[in-house]
């Protein structure tokens, strides 16, 4: 194995791999690219064989030369709100944003309609724990949004900034659609693109923001998806606080009965939806370009690029 900083990671076949007959490839190079556009150029030039996180436009551009595999990112993509910052410390304002944003419209604009709409901080990959009922908590209703804003003391709307990592075009595109949709209810949103390191320090760690568009992943446990909303959680960058949520989460963690755990985790999702802790949008579709000479690319419940399953067809 060898690693060249900011350039590549080269791994070699492990003859003692625990699954007989795998991996198929003797060596794999993971190339570090500065942005998706340069990755597309590398794909077309033949210096890359596989690349995930394609936009719908990029997938269409590459569809003749590459096989396009489609799965799920297993992410919670949302307009995350700082619940401690005005005006988002008012639940009516947060609910107004949920009514003002057309989720299907976002999918249509940024992903060709692909993706799975969600209603809380859980993605469908968690199957039995996923509370599908939360998807219908808010419908797209401009008048309802305006009424809630007026009740909260913002009849003429307000202005806020959405900080988005500059290296995630998908989230930037999503934020741009949100900006246009919010104009319909009198809200002016501005996008500030920041470097990933700055997002981690300023938004995630420092909680110095009003709103952000990002996708949250998780380990293979529903607890990990929801635990960040616990009032004193270190990674609760939304500054969300609800004693009922904390108590329910504690009960869900303590119980050893799976059926009871399922009920409690679904209840936690309902609490987050009704509180409008964020504007939960979707579990995005994952589009992957795969060289037509390769097969065996596999999707998992969490994102993992398992090259052990990939092999040459010719």
Q: Is 56 in the same domain as 86?
A: no
Find the range with the poorest average confidence among 48-62, 74-88, 230-244. Answer: 48-62
* pLDDT per position as a tens digit, 83-113: 999 999 999 999 999 999 999 999 999 988 9
Q: Cβ(307)–Cβ(28) under 8 Å?
A: yes
Tokens of 57: 């436009």
pLDDT at residue 250 is higher than 70 = yes
Domain shared by 203 and 255, yes or no: yes
The two tokens of residue 142 are 């401009």
Q: Same domain for 225 and 254?
A: yes
Do residue 14 and residue 147 come from a single domain?
no
CA-based end-to-end distance of the chain: 26
In angstroms, the Cα distances linking 253 to 68, 246, 290 are 39, 11, 40
The pTM of this model reads: 0.83
Q: Please, are residues 24 and 296 in contact by the beta-carbon 8 Å criterion?
A: yes
- The side-by-side arrangement of strands in the sheet containing 285-291 is 50-51, 285-291, 66-72
Say yes or no: 140 and 275 in one domain. yes
- pLDDT value of residue 21: 66
Q: Are residues 52 and 141 in the same domain?
A: no
Number of compact structural domains in the chain: 2
Instruction: Assess whether 59 and 194 both reside in one domain.
Output: no
Tokens of 59: 């997938």
Which CATH number is 12's domain given?
3.40.190.10
Same domain? For 40 and 161 the reply is no
Domain range enclosing 263: 76-280
Measured N-to-C along each axis, helices 91-100 and 169-182 cross at an angle, to the nearest 10 degrees, of 100
In this structure, the answer to whether residues 14 and 157 fall within a common structural domain is: no
CATH of the domain at 146: 3.10.105.10
On whether both 204 and 68 belong to a single domain, the answer is no
- Do both 65 and 133 map to the same domain? no
Same domain, 15 and 91: no
Kindly tell me if the per-residue pLDDT of 311 is higher than 80: yes
């Amino acid at each position: 194995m060898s690693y060249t900083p900011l350039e590549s990671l080269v791994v070699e076949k492990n003859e003692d791999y625990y699954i007989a007959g795998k991996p198929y490839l003797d060596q794999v190079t993971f190339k570090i690219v500065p942005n998706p556009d340069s990755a597309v150029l590398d794909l077309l030039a033949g210096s890359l064989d596989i690349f995930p996180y394609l936009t719908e436009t990029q997938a269409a551009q590459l569809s003749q030369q590459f096989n396009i595999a489609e799965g799920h990112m297993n992410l919670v993509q949302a307009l995350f709100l700082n619940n401690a910052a005005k005006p988002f410390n008012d639940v009516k304002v947060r609910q107004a944003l949920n009514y003002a944003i057309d989720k299907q419209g976002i999918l249509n604009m940024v992903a060709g309609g692909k993706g799975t709409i969600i209603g809380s901080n859980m993605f469908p990959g968690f199957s039995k724990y996923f509370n599908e009922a939360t998807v219908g908590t808010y419908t797209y209703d401009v008048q309802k949004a305006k009424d809630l804003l007026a009740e909260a003391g913002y009849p003429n709307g307000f202005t806020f900034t959405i900080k988005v990592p500059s290296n995630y075009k998908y989230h930037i595109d999503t934020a741009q659609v949100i900006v246009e949709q919010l104009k319909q209810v009198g809200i002016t949103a501005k996008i500030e693109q920041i470097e990933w390191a700055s997002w981690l320090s300023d938004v995630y760690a420092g909680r110095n923001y009003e709103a952000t568009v990002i996708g949250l992943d998780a380990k293979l446990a529903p607890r990990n998806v929801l635990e960040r909303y616990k009032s004193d959680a270190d990674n609760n960058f939304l500054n969300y606080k609800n004693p009922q949520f904390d108590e329910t989460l504690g009960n869900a963690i303590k119980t050893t009965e799976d059926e009871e755990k399922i009920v409690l985790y679904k209840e936690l999702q309902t609490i987050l939806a009704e509180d409008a802790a964020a504007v939960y949008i979707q579990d995005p579709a994952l589009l992957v370009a795969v060289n037509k000479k390769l097969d065996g690319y596999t999707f998992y419940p969490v994102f993992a690029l398992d090259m052990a399953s990939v092999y040459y067809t010719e």
